[in-house]
A = this chain, B = another copy of it.
């Protein structure tokens, strides 16, 4: 769903996967899919304090997985339908390296190509091996 051409930079993907790497947060995502829920309503479902759930929602929000909308004194949380699409895209970019999706693959492989290539879109790499230690 209109998720394709975006460039997902490292920080974005970091936040995305980090947000997904917690059972409680994934459960919050599932709950807020079928309808907006207030934070306090959410908090009732988990064996932790309101503040803790608030923090989890904040993590999801910074990752772009949910958004909050004020309604009176409540803050309604709803998951962004395109969000999982972004995570999927990040996986696609990984998977394409060996699943043969040629279009993205070229750029990903170009970063190294077995020898030394000046282009390094993904990661800072020591073209001059300055010695890993120290």
* A residues lining the B interface (CB < 8 Å): 10, 13-18, 20-24, 26-27, 29-31, 33-37, 43-50, 53, 79, 81, 84-85, 87-88, 90-91, 94-95, 97-98, 101, 103, 106-114, 118, 122-127, 129-134
Contact = CB atoms under 8 A, between A and B. Distances in A.
A27 B84 CA distance: 21
A132 B17 contact: no
A91 B87 contact: yes
A92 to B, nearest CB: 9
A94 to B, nearest CB: 5
Q: How many copies does the complex hold?
A: 2
A44 to B, nearest CB: 5
Contacts of A49: 132-134
B44 A129 contact: yes
Q: Determine which residue in A81, A88, A94, A98 has the highest number of CB atoms from chain B within 10 A of its CB, and name it.
A: A94
B98 A81 contact: yes
A16 to B, nearest CB: 8
Given A84-B91, A114-B35, A46 B131 contact: yes
